[in-house]
Structure 1
Amino acid sequence: MRLLAVGNGKSVHVIGRVEAMGRRGHAVRLLTEIPGEKANQLTPPPRAKAPQILRYLWRMLRTQPADAVHVHYAAGYGAWLAGACGRAPLVVSVMGGDILADEQMGQNVLERWLTRSLLRRADLVTSKSAELTNHLTRIGVAPQRILPLVWGVDETLFRRRDATALRTRMGLAPTARVVLSPRALRPFYNIHVIVDAFAAMATASPDAVLVITEYQADADYREMLRRRIESAGLADRVHFVGKVEIDEMADYYSLAEMVVSIPASDGIPQSLLEALACGVPVILSDLQCYHEWVADGVSALMIAIETADLAAAMARLLEDGRLRTGLAAAGLEVIAKGGGLEANLDRLDAALSRLPRGMGRSPSLAVLVGVMILMMARALAARLPFLRQ
């Protein structure tokens, strides 16, 4: 099948999905307004202005040969134009922040309307959790067009590895016990709470070290964390490791004795499935969506987003080897029962094969006008900063 994917060309999740579909024999091209380094991407001309980018995206969406258009993340110019252009079948995979806008992205009224218009015009919408599915139905997506699909984790890539080489490269002692924060380095993911909790339990656990990845790093936030770490006297026990490539992440999971992920809102993050597949115990914020996959005290530990609660959970895991072993084993069972990539792709392929071909619809003039208004508003705000306040 010829698939025209639409999404962020720098997103590890989008690239991973596109490549996975390609390995299944689909001819996939990625249309993106944010070019990455991977090949087979359709991108606007370098240094193109917003109007040129929109024209390019529109032309590709209308003319690129494809049996289906598949939008990854239901927000952004490419996504909204894919909904407006009338190509069918149209598939949209929501990720969480695109539709839980009030909690994560703070989209304005027009942006939310554009996202909802896209979803209502889609022939198939994939959803990673029951919480996202419920939200989709509330905004008008028919239940029969929603496919529960977590996407899953590539078990050939994410599995327990020998992390000795990584430990040596990082200069960690053989006795160092690693706490890993794998989420984006942004305030939303409460990395500061992780740092404060680590500081609270560091004296009682002198071999513990904290490793923080820097995906989508917010420079100001990172600097604030560094100052906080230095004031706590922990600069030699907290390691910022930059952006870690996806094929190296299993080494970091395998290095860790636990993974900590405590956002205030979420879908089902790939990092959770990756950690479980690598046999690492996970500490999570107590969100309803997580309960669909893991059970507190059985396959993960769930906590309130508070420094004391997290510090106690980290100390408990470091002290209780039997608990660590039990959580790791239960996590592997979770992946075996439905968290693997190939099983999820089988379900997606089956759903794609059932979609009618060649049943296009008329372009949406209202959505086109909305996108152009948004483009002009953003350009004006860039020139007049007080409009962004």
Structure 2
Amino acid sequence: MTAPAAGRPAVVIASRLFVPEVSAGAFRLGALARGLSDAGADVAVITTAPPPHAPATPDPNGVAVSRWPVLRDRGGNVRGYVQYASFDAPLVVRILFRRWRLAVAESPPTTGLVVAVVAALRRRPFAYYAADVWTDGVKSMGASAPVVAVMRWMERAVLRRAAVTLSISDEVTDRLVALGADRDRVVVVGNGVDTAVFSPDLTPAAHDRYFVYTGTMSEWQRPDIFVRAFASIADEHPDVSLRFFGQGAVERDLRALAERLVPGRVTFGGVVGPADAASWIRGATAALVSIAPGIGYDFARPTKTYAAAACGTPVLFAGARSGRELVAEAQLGEAVGFDADEVADAMRRLLAAAESGETDRRRTERARWALEHVSLAAVGQRAARAVLSALSRRP
């Protein structure tokens, strides 16, 4: 183990997700690690060995990454209580005997609790990166009352003990405060995408007409609404297709639905790297984004929205109010309710906009908005400043 350089604070990040995994969480943590290194910290990351489908990319410069095998589900995700435990149990030893002045814990709260206990034993401060509210998510998935109560206790304990908590939005902050976080110790750092990767200057991956969905396919997104909507316009537009890239808990059901409703018109490309995803988004008629309302994630603003905007591609957002408001206020595309007929009508309008040239005329405008508001590098710098402020705070 390399000793930290004199005068440089040693910061350790504990997260089950880290680049090169293809996920918003991994990208956030990569940006934070780079931001901390640029701010003069010695940064070490304790994480997992990436799944086989992760793209081969180097670790961030100046960041020491320690990887360890972990249990994953059938889709290659560290998702589920057993999978979380397979990371959290070894983490106790991996972080307890490492040199550091400040720790950062990424959700879930089980990881946060491990870091909180070790930080208390070491008499060191820690920061908690709360991209969402796990208690709400567990409850929305229909977990039993005892499971929800345990998760609430863990999340509350972590929030109350963290010297600083990083939040991605005002809506998430409000939920964290409701759980017991001290608002004065919560810093909103925002969320974003790598605008060097997602750009309007990319060469499109294809030149046919298609709608594209990238990323996780889960119960709280319910992307089946796009298949159902597309089925209602497929005969009107025989040359248009639907493309999915990524994976998730509902992918198998989604494939079966597509084969039943629109056989041969929906393709599933699996997990692809950020550069490939960006090229597919750049060439699309619109990028599809959804948040099923009323299941605990109404405050979410998915990074899929930002990725599309950075490529100058219109967004078709279906679902919860917060995401709809973002798309409508920034004029990033179409924002509709979680209704297949509304989504189908929005698809028709987006196809017409592409044919008329409106999509290309507004591409630069949308990309400029992303560059000014959701640059991942800027998010990483804000997050790094917030984390380092924990050195002068007392939990």
Query: Counterpart of 1:230?
Result: 259
Indicate how the Cα distance of structure 1 residues 112 and 326 shifts in structure 2: closer, same or farther if over 3 A, else same: farther
One of 257, 264, 268 as aligned partner of 1:240: 268
Query: Counterpart of 2:55?
Result: none
- Tell me whether 82-91 or 144-153 shows the greater mean CA deviation: 82-91
Task: Provide the secondary structure at the position in 2 that maps to 1:331.
Answer: helix
Indicate how the Cα distance of structure 1 residues 7 and 305 shifts in structure 2: closer, same or farther if over 3 A, else same: same
Q: 1:18 touches 1:28 (CA, 8 Å); kept in 2?
A: no
**CA apart distance, 1:75:** 2.6
CA distance in 1, matches of 2:86, 2:106: 22
- Tell me whether 318-327 or 189-198 shows the greater mean CA deviation: 318-327
Query: Counterpart of 1:369?
Result: none
> What's the C-alpha RMSD, in Å, of the aligned pairs?
3.0
Query: Counterpart of 1:66?
Result: 100
Amino acid at match of 1:69: A
Q: 1:8 touches 1:14 (CA, 8 Å); kept in 2?
A: no
**Percent identity of equivalent pairs:** 19
**CA apart distance, 1:267:** 2.2
Amino acid at match of 1:288: R
Show CA shifts across 1:2-26 (max 9, x none): 2211112356334323433444424
Query: Counterpart of 1:93?
Result: 129
Query: Counterpart of 1:212?
Result: 244
CA distance in 1, matches of 2:221, 2:69: 34
Amino acid at match of 1:90: F
TM-score by length of 1: 0.78
Q: Equivalences for 1:336-375 in 2 at 5 Å?
A: 336-356=371-391
Query: Counterpart of 1:376?
Result: none
**CA apart distance, 1:45:** 6.8
CA distance in 1, matches of 2:86, 2:238: 56
**CA apart distance, 1:277:** 0.7
CA distance in 2, matches of 1:317, 1:150: 28
CA distance in 1, matches of 2:217, 2:170: 27
Q: 1:88 touches 1:358 (CA, 8 Å); kept in 2?
A: no
Are residue 334 (structure 1) and residue 349 (structure 2) matched? no
Indicate how the Cα distance of structure 1 residues 206 and 128 shifts in structure 2: closer, same or farther if over 3 A, else same: same
Task: Provide the secondary structure at the position in 2 that maps to 1:276.
Answer: helix
- Tell me whether 114-123 or 58-67 shows the greater mean CA deviation: 58-67
Q: Equivalences for 1:280-291 in 2 at 5 Å?
A: 280-290=313-323
Query: Counterpart of 2:28?
Result: 17
Q: How many residues align?
A: 345
Are residue 31 (structure 1) and residue 46 (structure 2) matched? yes
Q: 2:289 touches 2:302 (CA, 8 Å); kept in 1?
A: no
Query: Counterpart of 2:6?
Result: none
Show CA shifts across 1:95-139 (max 9, x none): 225253223584521122111111111111111122111111111
Are residue 199 (structure 1) and residue 231 (structure 2) matched? yes
Q: Equivalences for 1:1-389 in 2 at 5 Å?
A: 1-9=9-17, 10=21, 12-24=23-35, 25=37, 26-32=41-47, 34-36=48-50, 40-43=64-67, 56-76=90-110, 78-85=111-118, 86=120, 88-96=124-132, 98-101=134-137, 102-103=139-140, 106=143, 108-164=148-204, 166-167=205-206, 174=207, 176-215=208-247, 217-218=248-249, 221-232=250-261, 234-264=262-292, 265=297, 267-290=300-323, 293-295=326-328, 298-321=331-354, 324-325=359-360, 328-356=363-391
Gaps of 5+ in 1: 168-173, 362-389
Amino acid at match of 1:284: F
Show CA shifts across 1:158-211 (max 9, x none): 1124445x32xxxxxx4x211011131233311211111011111111221100
Query: Counterpart of 1:387?
Result: none
Show CA shifts across 1:18-77 (max 9, x none): 433444424332223x43267654455778x9988655322233221123211122433x
Gaps of 5+ in 2: 1-8, 52-57, 72-81
TM-score by length of 2: 0.77
**CA apart distance, 1:212:** 0.7
Query: Counterpart of 1:382?
Result: none
Indicate how the Cα distance of structure 1 residues 99 and 271 shifts in structure 2: closer, same or farther if over 3 A, else same: farther
Amino acid at match of 1:302: A
